[in-house]
């Protein structure tokens, strides 16, 4: 089907605030949302102190944090998009879903029984999709994607396919992940966490910080909207068990694939929302891939993870919502945390806020295991 796919609504709860507008203001002002966690009591202390992460400033009972985040972000996006009379589908990307509820239940149990053992088999990642489908009254397809850090970006691509195929008229795409002990300590065990605020693409980068939140995009077929979703590409890099080739070849391939699917040229791209985790190899692969994909003139690019942390499976949707919010407000954000170029990468992210040009914008997501997703959006 050839009707345009309009992004009519977006919403986000992140470390920068409970709405997209909160985060957009913070990004314009160059503020970070990283720091010691104060609201996530279920997280075990690190070396006698609270884990350092991008924690959402949501003050509610611990047991209600997960579902409240999802509800707030969905409400914001759907309110912006307005009503729809067509068939609505729900597409969720997450690494853990409401798995964190089991983590919180174990925290409560250990207050009276310190020897309690975890039992996480009762939770499933599909719970988020089920909850959102009930919230929006979905009568179309409901699907969950759990593909590490590309989960919600892959959900965007899948939603577009369903919209073009006519199985739904509206797609509500959700990315969600909450801070949990498994992920906090899993990344620490891999030696991928920087003890200082992360510095994507910086020569001194030493790892990431985790973040949490929920991002939502509402995409309508044939409607009017500020942005049109064009095309996407999904590649799996098999050169390495955990990541992408550091020569940038797979990153280049997925960017060029998304542009080819979108029927646009690299010269038409005016910004790139980078994945930019702050880890040595990931930034090297992405920076080199951007350089290879845009040989005729490099568009400005930036990572948002220095401001909100790495939200894992939610990153694609949260960062897309925030980037679109910034574009809608008339500016491109700077790459928070960057200070000194890395000559091995050879490209430099945006170091200051600038006026947003109109054109095509590329959204990158790269995941553990070599999963690579990119999609393109054009100003309407």
Q: Report the distance separating Cα 42 and Cα 63, nearest Å.
A: 10
Which tokens in the block code for residue 220?
A: 């309508």
Question: How much helix, strand and coil, in percent to the nearest 5, is found in the chain?
Answer: 35, 25, 40
Residue 253 phi/psi, 5° resolution? Answer: -65, -40
Residue 231 CB neighbour total at 10 angstroms: 20
Over residues 242-296, the pLDDT tens digits come to 778 899 999 999 999 999 999 999 999 999 999 999 999 999 999 999 999 999 8
pLDDT higher at 157 or 239 = 157
Beta strands 5-13 and 34-36, pairing class: unpaired
Q: 196: which residues sit within 8 A by CB, 6+ positions away?
A: 206
Over residues 145-199, the pLDDT tens digits come to 999 999 999 999 999 999 999 999 999 999 999 999 999 999 989 889 998 899 9
Query: What average pLDDT score do residues 215-241 get?
Result: 93
Q: 64: which residues sit within 8 A by CB, 6+ positions away?
A: none
Q: 232: which residues sit within 8 A by CB, 6+ positions away?
A: 156, 157, 160, 258, 261, 262, 373, 374, 375, 376
Which tokens in the block code for residue 102?
A: 């089991």
Beta bridge partners of residue 177, listed in sequence order: 213
Over residues 82-95, the pLDDT tens digits come to 999 999 999 999 99
| Model pLDDT, residue 125 | 82
| Model pLDDT, residue 368 | 85
Which tokens in the block code for residue 69?
A: 């985040």
CA atoms within 13 A on the CB side of 192: 23
Q: What is the DSSP letter of 116?
A: P
| Model pLDDT, residue 98 | 92
Contact 103, 41 (CB under 8 A): no
- Determine what percent of the chain is predicted with pLDDT higher than 70: 98
Contact 171, 162 (CB under 8 A): yes
Q: Report the distance separating Cα 260 and Cα 86, nearest Å.
A: 30
Q: What length is written for the chain?
A: 380
The full set of domains in the chain, from first to last, is 5-379 (3.40.47.10)
| Model pLDDT, residue 120 | 60
Over residues 89-131, the pLDDT tens digits come to 999 999 999 988 888 999 999 999 998 887 666 567 899 999 9
Q: Report the distance separating Cα 119 and Cα 246, nearest Å.
A: 38
| Model pLDDT, residue 331 | 98
Contact 237, 213 (CB under 8 A): no
Q: Residue ranges of the alpha helices (H) in the chain?
A: 20-29, 65-81, 100-112, 127-136, 151-165, 181-189, 249-262, 280-293, 305-308, 315-328
If you search the block for the tokens 């791209």, which residue do you land on? 269
Over residues 314-344, the pLDDT tens digits come to 999 999 999 999 999 999 999 999 999 999 9
| Model pLDDT, residue 123 | 67
Contact 227, 7 (CB under 8 A): yes
| Model pLDDT, residue 122 | 59
Q: How confident is the model at residue 1 (pLDDT cuts 50, 70, 90)?
A: low
The DSSP line for 255-305 is: HHHHHHHHT--GGGEEEEE----S-HHHHHHHHHHHHHH-TT-PPPEE-SH
CA atoms within 13 A on the CB side of 46: 16
CA atoms within 13 A on the CB side of 174: 38
Which tokens in the block code for residue 204?
A: 């001194």
């Amino acid at each position: 089907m050839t009707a345009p796919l309009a992004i009519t609504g977006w919403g986000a709860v992140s470390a920068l605030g409970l709405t997209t507008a909160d985060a957009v203001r913070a990004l314009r002002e160059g503020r970070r949302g990283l720091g010691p966690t104060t609201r996530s009591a279920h997280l075990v202390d690190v070396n006698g102190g609270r884990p350092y992460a991008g924690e959402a400033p949501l003050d509610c009972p611990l047991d209600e944090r997960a579902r409240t985040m999802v509800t707030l972000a969905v409400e914001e996006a759907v309110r912006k998009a307005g009503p729809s009379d067509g068939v609505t589908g729900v597409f969720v990307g997450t690494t853990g879903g409401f798995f964190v509820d089991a983590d919180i239940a174990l925290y409560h149990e250990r207050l009276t029984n310190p020897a309690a053992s975890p039992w996480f088999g009762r939770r499933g990642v599909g719970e988020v999709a089920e909850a959102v489908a009930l919230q929006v009254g979905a009568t179309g397809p409901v699907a969950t994607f759990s593909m590490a850090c590309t989960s919600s970006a892959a959900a965007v691509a899948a939603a577009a396919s369903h919209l073009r195929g006519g199985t739904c008229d509206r797609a509500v795409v959700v990315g969600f992940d909450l801070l949990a002990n498994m992920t906090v300590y899993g990344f620490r065990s891999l030696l991928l966490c920087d003890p200082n605020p992360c510095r994507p693409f910086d020569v001194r980068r030493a790892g990431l910080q985790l973040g949490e939140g929920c991002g939502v995009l509402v995409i309508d077929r044939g409607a009017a909207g500020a942005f049109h979703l064009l095309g996407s590409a999904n590649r799996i890099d098999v050169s390495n068990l955990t990541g992408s080739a550091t020569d940038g070849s797979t990153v280049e391939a997925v960017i060029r694939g998304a542009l080819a699917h979108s029927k646009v040229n690299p010269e038409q791209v005016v910004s790139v929302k980078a994945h930019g985790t702050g880890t040595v190899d990931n930034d090297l692969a992405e920076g080199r891939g951007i350089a290879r994909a845009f040989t005729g003139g490099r568009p400005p690019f930036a990572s948002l993870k220095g401001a909100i942390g790495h939200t894992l499976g939610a990153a694609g949707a949260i960062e897309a919502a925030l980037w679109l919010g910034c574009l809608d407000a008339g500016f491109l954000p700077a790459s928070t945390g960057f200070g000194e170029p890395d000559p091995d990468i050879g490209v430099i992210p945006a170091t200051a806020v600038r006026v947003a040009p109109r054109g095509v914008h590329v959204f990158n997501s790269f995941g553990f295991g070599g999963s690579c997703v990119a999609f393109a959006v054009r100003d309407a």
